[in-house]
Structure formats: structure tokens, C-alpha cells
Structure 1
Amino acid sequence: MPVEAFSAGQQVTAELMLMLVRDFSVNVLLGQPTVVPPLPLLREARRRDPGLRIEKIVYGGTPMTESDKQWLREELGTRSITSILAANDGAQIGYQCERLGGTLHHVNDDYNLVEVVDEDGVPVPDGETGHLLITAMQKFEGPLIRYRIGDVGRVTVRDCSCGVSGRVLEYLGRSDGLLKFKSATVHHGDILAALEQFQVSQLQAELTTREGTETLVLRTESRVELDPATLRAALADAFPALSDAHLYDDGLRMFELVVECRPEGGLDRNPVSGKIRTVIDRRLS
């Protein structure tokens, strides 16, 4: 595209961002929600310059919560916030037009053949959740056939109001985002969605054993101060598997839910990618 682009990588700072906007009229930002938009860099830049405006945000890598999108629209005047999906080895998978919300994406069928399969690699019907496989249609360096990218999702066919008809992929996150405990299964993305009302931006889930009790520790990040007891009660109400219904008559506790609320930027991030490790299972160590 005939546009000026400035690559800052992982070394971007609030000062650099403000300089690019001021001196080069940068109006589009590409990045990962955990690194650039909107946590915590843009908030710091906005604090230093209340007049900061970013017209468009294109992000990928991890989903962005609706509360963060709302902050971008209200505080930075952002008009367009869209997501792209890609695999390190297979490049583009899907893109989000302005009419698709949440984690829905148009599939790049001309670039990658996307399949949704079960545990044995058998395709599942449209609308059912499964593992994502890609076959690269334009990768000339070497074949990439039915490559499991480690993500889960489901595909439907629809006529989008943007004018594009065809397959739409609902991206549901990493396949290792499944939390299995006490004969129950809960997905990391579903828990994060349930916490949307509390303006939670990031969620880390850790499964461990404490004094013989299976324990799920949920750590949240938010720009507002949160009460762990309130979040815990809301989650127990939304997910029966997270409630105290598993206590035996003799008081034996087989499972415990712990909620830790941290401020923005309070979770540990990978020093290279800037990503948060969303699911940790220490029962395997």
C-alpha cells in the first residue's frame, strides 16, 4: 500500500508514539492488545497528551474486550477497530470488517483453506466448535497441508451487510484454553466474556493443587479497581463448575476458586512477544 509505515516492534514507548502522531500525522495503529492498543501504552500516551487521537486500530494475536474498544472510541475518538487472524507459518486466515463484531472474521479462502475438525482430525459440521487446520494455497516455500495451528473456532456461512458473502470464522482462542477440573470443562474465553461487565481486559487462569485441594486461580487486569469477592460470586453464578456445590456433607473441599484482581499491566508478560500466558496448569509439573 502506498502509505508511510513506522515499525516500532516491542520497543515502542509513549514518547515514541506521541512523536509519530505529532511529527508524521500517524493515524492508524497496528499491534497486539497485550502490547499496544489499548493497554497500557495508549492510556499513558493519552495521559501525557489529552488531545491524542488515533483514527483506526488494527489488532491481532489475542481478542480485545468490548470495554477496551469502548475506551478507544470515547477517549481517542477511534472510528474503526478491526481484527485480523494469522498463523506464524501460514500467514493470513481471516479479517474483520466493520460490520462484524466480537471475534467473527471473514475467511481468506483464496489464501488459506480453513477446516474445523474434531480431536481425530475429522471435519465437523458448520456451526460446531473444533480445532482449526489450515492448508496454505499460496505458500510456495514449502507445503503446509492440514496444519493444526493450536486454535479453536467454528465456521458458519452468511451474507454480511458489508457486501461479502461466504464463510465466517468465530475465533474462540487457543486450544490450550480449555480448563478441565473436577470432571468439568470451562473455556478461558467464556470466563473472560463473563467478566466483560467488570471491564476486565486480561485474564490469566492457573490450575494448581493447594493442600490437596484442586485450585483454580483467576488473575484479572482492569483499569478500574475491582473486588475479588464480587467477581468470584458472579463467576460462581455463571458457571456451576466454579461454585461451592462440590462440598461434601463432611465439609471436605475438593475444589477452590481464587480470584486476584490486579491493576492494568499487573500480569507478567513474555519479554519478547509481550503476551500474557493465559492458561497455566501446574498440576502437570
Structure 2
Amino acid sequence: MTDVFDELEVAPWNEVSRLHEQLLQQQLDYVVERSEFYRDRIGALRGQVRSLEDLRYLPFTAKDDVRQSLLAKPPLGLHLAAEPSEVVQIQSSSGTTGMPTFVAATKRDLETWNSMGARVFYANGFRPGDWVMHAYAMGRGFVGGLVNIEHLQHLGCAVIPLGAESGTERLLRAIDHLKPRAMCATPSMVAYLGAAAQDVLGKPASELSIRAISVGGEPGGGIPAIRENMEQLWGADVRDMMGGADFGSTYWAECDEKDGMHLCSQGALHVELIDPDTLDPIPISEGATGEIVYTALRREATPLVRYRMGDIVTVSSLDCRCGRTGFKIKTHGRADDMLIVRGVNVFPAAIKDIVMQYAPDTTGYLKIDLDFDGHSTYEPLRLRVEMGKASVRTPEELGATLEGVLRDQLTVRTVIQIVPEGSIERPGAAKEKLLERVGRP
């Protein structure tokens, strides 16, 4: 038997599609009946949707639509489709792009979330009985906090929920004392803890007990240079995962092959791919690139139909030696983060990948200083890049080298300021932010 958490992960895709066809009809009937937002939005179009392909006839739901819904009918919005008394948990988005959005769940919703999350952590190499250090942020209702703990407990792991807010020393000393086998955190936190272990504990992180690491919450886990740095620091297997607060936390995960993240949401979410410019559907095929659109299939409290979360991905494979039938993707980042420099599209994560390749000349920490309005400029992109203490280059040599590599590999012109190690604030409990708005020079 294929080693998976849920047999649905290895079901033939035509069986999964038939299940999604059935669940979609039930979900659309439910939201039209129970959600004031969707009754007004898609009620008149309901009869046109008789298959998954017919979803294209329905309008998209965007983040701003959800915010407006929350403002129109506090506290949980016009799109609430369950009785308030049925809600057992309320989560919040990070609010990094505006007003935080609140996401409600019923008991059944939590069961759905936990099923997806357990599949993700199992694919990432976690197993029942593992002790897991939870080093994601726990505060401000961050969905990666409590909800990931629930996923891990559903899988059968013992969770150590210290959270990123505990600080570097307490986290490392707890790992040293309790000897957990696994850890979950953002890539920047994993790298920061790994680099700090020698100073805090007097020994490298690779001598600690951690052997499986699941990372998410920000780009990095699937970027070769960033992953290699984390694996060398910890002597551990590092795998990427992805999701979002709007649908529970996490529903994409790398398996042993580590060449893309599997869809792990069978029976819970239906996924479409669209062209972010024309909004036309893109067939899911190997090599296809587009924006992911999600439709909930079993959601009771705050269901979303054709929701644009903004992730730009490429389908890396339709099958896998691990036996999972969910297609695999590689993510480029959020559409909101993409920069256009003299007509060339560039994602911040791609810049970080290149900078990381020059360790130890660089620490890997950088800021892209946006001295222009919006996300488009005809001027060179301005970067601050930290120089590693062990570098034998001069700042001028390192800056010129990086400018040349970025120009050659990404076709983007940059002006790089090399700054001393420690100059750029470490993310700590927060997600790493590569972009920073600054005044014009």
C-alpha cells in the first residue's frame, strides 16, 4: 500500500473528479440557500453550473469582496452560511495587505481542515508519534499557529507549541532538552535558529535532534539555495508546504521527491488555474503557469466560491513515484508581490534565491526598496544586501557581482547597496518581508 495518510490521495483522478462534481452541486445549493452574499452573487447563475467546467460562468471572489462583506454585516460578513451558534473557531488572516479578514469554522469545517493538514504534514515526512517543535507565530490569530497544531494532533503527533514569540534562546534550549524529531516554521525562522544554535547552545543545529522540517508561510522552502542552506544547518530533511487562512491553513505539500508540492485537498477544495491578466481558464497540464482559484466543496461557516488568493504557480507534474495522484506545483509568489521592472516580471523570491547562492559572502538577508508607486518601474531596482562576516570580497566586488548575475539570470537591472551583517532586521515571529516602501532618493 502506498504510504499516505488518506487513501483519497492515491485515488485515480477520474474518481476524484466525480467526487468533486457531486460535492460542487451540493455546495452551490448550500451557499445559495444559506449565504446572503452568494445568493445575490450567483443565485441567478446557479442553473448554468452542471459540471466543474461550468464554474467559469460564475464570478470570481476577491479579497476585497470578502472585506466588503465583513464590513457590510459584522462580525462575520454577508458570506456567513452557518448559524453563529454553530461556529466553534474564528481565525484571522495576517492583514499584511489591508484589513484582516476573519474566517469562521464549524466543527465539521475543522474536521475538513484537519484532514487536509494531516495529509500535508504526513507528505512532509512527519509521522504519528513524532514530537514536533511548533515555531510558527502563535499570536494575533495567525492561522499557522493554533490551526497547524490541530493538524499535527489529528495526525497523531505530540506538539510542543512554544511558537516564534518565545524567542531564539528558549526555542533552541527546548529543542536541546526535549529532543523533538520534527519542527515546523517559516523558512526565515528555520534559517535564523539554525545559524544561532552555535552561539546559544555551544553546538551546531546539526547536532540537535531535528531530522524533519516542514516550512511554509513565506517563499523559500522550494527554492534550492534556501532549502540547501536550511538542510546544511540542521542536518535535516526540509520540505515545503503552502496554503492560506481562507481555507484552513495548508493544503499543498512536498513528498519524498521534493520536486513540487502535491495537491492535498481532494474532497475539500476544487482548484482551477487562470490567466491572471485575461482571467481565462488554463487547462491543468504539465508546464502550465497561472493563478490558482479555489472553490470550497465542504465548507459550512464562511464558504468561498472561485476565490482568487493570488498565488502564481507552475504545474510541475501530473503524477509522481510516491503514488499520490494530486498534481504538483512550484510557486513563484503572490501576484501582489510581483514587480515589473522595465517590462520584465520578477518575483522577490527569485531574487532571494540568487542572493542565497552567494553565501557565505552574503547572509541571505535583503530588502528590495520600493522608491516608486505601485509595482512597476522603469528605473533599476534598489536592493540592500547583507554581507557575511566571512566574505573575502570587498562590498564593491560583491555588489557588482550580484548586479551582473541578476541582470543575466532575471533580465533585471539593479542597484545594490551592500550592508554589514546584522543591518537588516530579522523577521523573528513575523513573516519575512522582502519588499519595503521607502522615500525616493
**CA distance 1:105–1:204, change in 2 (3 Å):** same
Q: Distance in 2 between matches of 1:23 and 1:240?
A: 48
Aligned-pair CA distance for 1:162: 1.6
Q: CA RMSD in A?
A: 3.0
Give the letter aligned to residue 383 of structure 2: L
Q: Percent identity?
A: 24
**CA distance 1:269–1:144, change in 2 (3 Å):** farther
Tell me which of 237, 240, 244 is aligned to 2:408: 237
Aligned to 1:33: 187
Structure number with the higher helix fraction is: 2
Aligned-pair CA distance for 1:263: 5.6
Matching of residue 228 in structure 1 with residue 399 in structure 2: yes
Q: Distance in 1 between matches of 2:240 and 2:334?
A: 16
TM-score (norm 2): 0.53
Aligned residues: 262
Give the letter aligned to residue 433 of structure 2: R
**Which deviations, in whole Å up to 9, do the C-alpha atoms of 1:73-117 show, x marking residues without a partner?**
334321x2111111111123311112123xx10012413222221
Aligned to 2:369: 206
Structure number with the higher strand fraction is: 1
Aligned to 1:162: 322
Unaligned residue ranges in structure 1 (runs of 5+): 243-256
SS at match of 2:331: strand
Matching of residue 219 in structure 1 with residue 384 in structure 2: yes
Q: Distance in 2 between matches of 1:13 and 1:232?
A: 35
Tell me which of 150, 156, 166 is aligned to 1:2: 156
Aligned to 2:434: 278
Give the letter aligned to residue 306 of structure 2: R
Tell me which of 194, 207, 214 is aligned to 1:42: 194
Aligned to 1:73: 231
Q: Distance in 1 between matches of 2:307 and 2:239?
A: 26
Larger deviation, residues 88-97 vs 182-191: 182-191
**CA distance 1:72–1:172, change in 2 (3 Å):** closer
Q: Distance in 1 between matches of 2:156 and 2:342?
A: 55
Q: Which has the larger radius of gyration?
A: 2
Tell me which of 112, 117, 126 is aligned to 2:274: 117
SS at match of 1:18: helix
Matching of residue 106 in structure 1 with residue 251 in structure 2: no
The answer to whether the 8 A contact 1:117-1:132 is kept is yes
TM-score (norm 1): 0.78
Higher relative contact order (Cα pairs below 8 Å, separated by 6+ residues): 2
Aligned-pair CA distance for 1:53: 3.6
Aligned to 1:188: 348
Output aligned runs, 1:82-161, within 5 Å: 82-91=239-248, 92-101=250-259, 104-110=260-266, 111-118=268-275, 119-125=277-283, 126=285, 127-161=287-321
SS at match of 2:318: strand
Aligned-pair CA distance for 1:45: 1.9
Give the letter aligned to residue 318 of structure 2: R
